[in-house]
Each structure stands twice: as structure tokens, then as C-alpha cells.
Amino acid sequence: MKALELEEISVYYGPVRGVENVTLDVEEGEIVALLGANGAGKSTLLKAISGIIHQKQGIIKFFGEDFHRMSPHRRVVGGLVHVPEGRRIFTALTIGENLELGAYGTKTGRVERSERLSEVLAMFPFLKEHFKRLAGTLSGGEQQVLAIARAMMSNPKVLMIDEPSLGLDPQKIDIVYDLLQEVAAIGTTVLLVEQNVKLALEIAARAYVLQQGSVVLSGVSSSLINDPRLSDAYLGKAADGDH
């Protein structure tokens, strides 16, 4: 079953093109990477899928269901969660409060929420130790871990995550990527946005490469990793920036 299907999605910021005619799909249980240089439209695409910006045209289907008119908070209830670029944890709230809010959309009762909390804390022991600490006091890597844990609180079918390695040192990146693999191992479908190609292709089964808002390349990771067109997609953007 397809978890996500995008057909000819276009998003504009006024006259500025965010993405144009993007078609892609993600199979249930898969890790799929969305690659591309800075400004290629990766974040825009995730925002359109979670509904925090409006697409100009195209169809987004979530497990076969058209998401078009559904407000973004309802999409979360449906099982689609988006960890945005820059993590966006609530710094003035405690770690525990951040986690509780992760389950807000599920509309479950107090008992179920606390059961879910124990499950997630078992996956993220670090957060359990610092449950009452203000989230703003965490380091960047710790905040990324919290952002993933918070997303998992809603027991999502699909997790979309935007540049989880951004600003982290290699050791922290390893921790975060191990976590993502754990998340996928329990059956969560993952749509992973990355600029770091090598990193993403290590865990993703397939990838789409965006350049200036359009998909220029796609395929299974093992064949993409040696494809010269992949580096072209990055360099092309850089060369484009020269004029």
C-alpha cells in the first residue's frame, strides 16, 4: 500500500516558485529520502504535505485518501507527523510537556497518553532522565532527539523529518540516524529530507532528487549513490547561483 502519493504538486510563494509539478510516492514501511541543494524545494514539499502551506495545484494522497481539504492539525490526527527544519521544540516548556503535546492530536484519553509516554520514554531513556528540564536548555542534538520523540508520541504512520543532521557534530548525527532506523524498524514510514546525500542514502531504500523545485532524478539508493547526475544536481544549483 502506498503511504503517500503526490501528483503534480506545485507551490508558489507569491511569484517565487517553491516546487513545481512534483510527483512522488512512498510505500508503507519504506524510508525514502528527498535530496537536493539548499533552496531546491525540499522543505516546501514537506510543508505542503503537512498542510502548513497551501499547494497551488496537485493531489496529495495519504493511504489513498485525498488530503486536499483537510486542515493541518487534522492530518496529524490521521497519522502524518512532520518534524520541521530547525526542530522547533517548545523551549519554554519542559521535556515532559513537549512530549505530552506530541500526543495532543491523537485525542486519546489520559491513560492511553501516559501509556504512550512510557513506551516512548523507553525508546528515549535520555529524555526520561531529564523529564522536568526546560527543553530550551538542551543542546542541538538533544533537541533533535526530543523532536523525534515528540513526533513519535502521536504513534504516527508516516514520519517526515527535515534535515535532522543540520548543525550537529558527527557523533550526534550517528545517534539521530540510529534513532531514525529504530523508528523505521517498528514499522513507521519515513520521508527523510537531507542535504547530506551520503548520510541519507545509507538508510533510505529510495530517493528523489530535487533541483530548483522539480524532481530531476529518482531511484533506489544503491544505484543513485554512484550516479554522476546526483552531484550534477547539487553543482547545477551552485552554478546557477553565479549569475
Partner 1 sequence: MSLLLNELGNGIFLGAFFGLIALGYSMVYGILRLINFAHGDFFMVAAFVSYTVLGAVMVGHSHTHWFTVVWVGLLVMVLTGGLATLANQLVYRPMRRAAILSMMIAAIGLSQVLENGVLVTPGWGATYLVYPVTTPPSGFYVGSNHFTWGQLIIVVISGLLGLGVYLLVGRTLLGKAMRAVSEDQTAAVLMGINVDLVIAIVFFIGGALAGAAAVMTGVYYGQINYLMGFTVGLEAFTAAVLGGIGNIGGAVIGGLILGIVQSIGTGLFGAEWAIVVAFAALVLMLWFRPTGILGERVARRM
Ligand X SMILES: Nc1ncnc2c1ncn2[C@@H]1O[C@H](COP(=O)(O)OP(=O)(O)O)[C@@H](O)[C@H]1O
Contacts to ligand X by CB under 6 A: 13, 16, 18, 36, 38-44
Measured from the CB atom, the residue of 42 and 172 that comes closer to ligand X is 42
Q: Which residue is nearest to Mg ion (CB)?
A: 43
What is the spatial distance between Cα 69 and Cα 48, in angstroms, rounded to a whole number? 12
Sort residue 155 into left (φ over 0), alpha (ψ -120 to 50) or beta.
left
Whichever of 87 and 206 has its CB closer to partner 1, that residue is 87
Rounded least distance, CB 193 to ligand X, Å: 7
Q: For the CB of residue 44, give the shortest distance to ligand X in the complex, in Å.
A: 3
Interface residues toward partner 1, by CB under 8 A: 50, 52, 71-74, 76-77, 81-84, 88-93, 97, 100-102, 104-106, 150, 154
Distances (CA, A) of 186 to 30, 36, 80, 182: 11, 28, 16, 7
Q: 13 is in the binding site of which of ligand X, Mg ion, partner 1, none (Cβ under 5 to 8 A by kind)?
A: ligand X
Q: How far is the CB of 46 from ligand X (least distance, A)?
A: 8
| CB-nearer residue toward ligand X: 30 or 162 | 162
Between 68 and 74, whose beta carbon lies closer to partner 1? 74
Min dist CB 201 to ligand X, Å, is 17
Q: The C-alpha cell of 48 is what?
A: 505542503
Least distance in Å: CB of 150 to Mg ion? 19
**8 A C-beta contact, residue 20 and residue 214:** yes
18 binds, among Mg ion, ligand X, partner 1, none (CB under 5 to 8 A by kind): ligand X
Return the one option of Mg ion, partner 1, ligand X, none that residue 140 interacts with (CB less than 5 to 8 A, by type): none
